[in-house]
């Protein structure tokens, strides 16, 4: 189905309920179907729907912002993005991978737990990823574990997947620990989740990593991630950091 033929509409909702409960309606062949924002299998399976929803309707620009922040940091420090070997976690249909390629990264491996994500990436952006794995970082097959270990990543990106339970903390740590030290870690996260006053979830984990000298934040930029379904802006932080060490198991006990 082509993007211009998709009819997307939103319900009237209270802005206080934005986030993981957001949903929309898609109409085709005279029938209207309700789909939540996190039913990625359905969204990815329809060509053009992901971009039509998040980029055209909701004005998401996070991949461009995170990619731009990486490029800014590398240029400022006279580093070469072509030296990066990136693991792109929660890769989806490849929009972040495309931004990485646009700033000169040559080696990009995508990983997502959803089968439809890999299929859509191969459909929409077949030339972006060096490799793409459909895998659960908490239950890797032996071939996937060997491949990720042997890849010798020196960088990792996670865009629009931290904070709403898309990626569990243990899975994030497993991916992070496949990256060499020192290494690049670039991500975005909802401003509420990174605030010092929030002592739960990824906010606490990121702050603990900084406090324990596991992570050194180099660039931090607040920006409008996208619009909520009622039109109110949703603000995130884009962060570029240096990985200095692996995340120890003890640090993850709080998420058990």
**Do 39 and 129 sit in the same domain of this protein?**
no
pLDDT tens, residue by residue, 49-88: 999 999 999 999 999 999 999 999 999 999 999 999 999 9
**Do 25 and 147 sit in the same domain of this protein?**
no
- Which residues, 6 or more positions from 48, have their beta carbon under 8 angstroms from its beta carbon? 1, 2, 3, 4, 6
What CATH number did the domain enclosing 221 receive?
Answer: 3.40.50.150
pTM assigned to the model: 0.92
**Do 133 and 19 sit in the same domain of this protein?**
no
pLDDT higher for 27 or 141? 141
**Do 11 and 100 sit in the same domain of this protein?**
no
**Do 105 and 221 sit in the same domain of this protein?**
yes
pLDDT tens, residue by residue, 170-219: 999 999 999 999 999 999 988 877 665 555 577 888 889 999 999 999 99
**Do 12 and 36 sit in the same domain of this protein?**
yes
- Report pLDDT for 254: 82
Give me the domain span that covers residue 163: 62-255
**Do 53 and 74 sit in the same domain of this protein?**
no
- Report pLDDT for 2: 44
Task: Tell me how crowded residue 121 is: count the other CB atoms within 10 A of its CB.
Answer: 25
Taking alpha carbons only, the member of 53, 71, 185, 63 closest to residue 125 is 63
- Report pLDDT for 200: 58
Indicate the number of domains in the chain: 2
Q: Of 36, 57, 78, which residue sits at a domain end?
A: 57
- Helix (H, G, I), strand (E, B), or coil: what is residue 215? strand
- Report pLDDT for 1: 36
Q: Are 229 and 171 in contact (CB under 8 A)?
A: no
Taking alpha carbons only, the member of 247, 255, 238 closest to residue 186 is 238
pLDDT average, residue stretch 142-164 = 91
**Do 40 and 86 sit in the same domain of this protein?**
no
């Amino acid at each position: 189905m082509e993007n211009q033929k998709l009819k997307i509409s939103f319900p009237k909702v209270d802005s206080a309920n934005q986030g993981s409960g957001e949903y929309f309606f898609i109409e085709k062949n005279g029938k209207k179907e309700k789909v939540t924002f996190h039913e990625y299998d359905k969204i990815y399976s329809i060509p053009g729907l992901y971009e039509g929803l998040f980029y055209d309707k909701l004005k998401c620009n996070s991949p461009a912002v995170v990619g731009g922040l990486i490029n800014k940091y590398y240029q400022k420090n006279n580093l070469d993005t072509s030296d990066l070997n990136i693991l792109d976690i929660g890769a989806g249909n490849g929009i972040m991978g495309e931004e990485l390629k646009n700033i000169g990264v040559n080696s990009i491996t995508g990983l997502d737990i959803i089968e439809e994500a890999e299929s859509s990436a191969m459909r929409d952006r077949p030339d972006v990823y060096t490799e793409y794995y459909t895998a659960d970082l908490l239950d890797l097959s032996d071939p996937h574990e060997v491949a990720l270990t042997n890849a010798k990543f020196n960088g990792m990106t996670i865009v629009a997947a931290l904070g709403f339970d898309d990626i569990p903390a243990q899975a994030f740590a497993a991916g992070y620990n496949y990256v060499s030290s020192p290494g690049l870690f670039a991500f975005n996260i909802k401003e509420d989740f990174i605030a010092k006053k929030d002592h739960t979830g990824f906010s606490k984990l990121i702050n603990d990593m900084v406090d324990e000298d596991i992570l050194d934040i180099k660039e931090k930029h607040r920006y409008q991630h996208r619009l909520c379904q009622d039109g109110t802006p949703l603000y995130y932080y884009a962060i570029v950091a240096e990985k200095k060490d692996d995340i120890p198991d003890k640090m993850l006990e709080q998420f058990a």
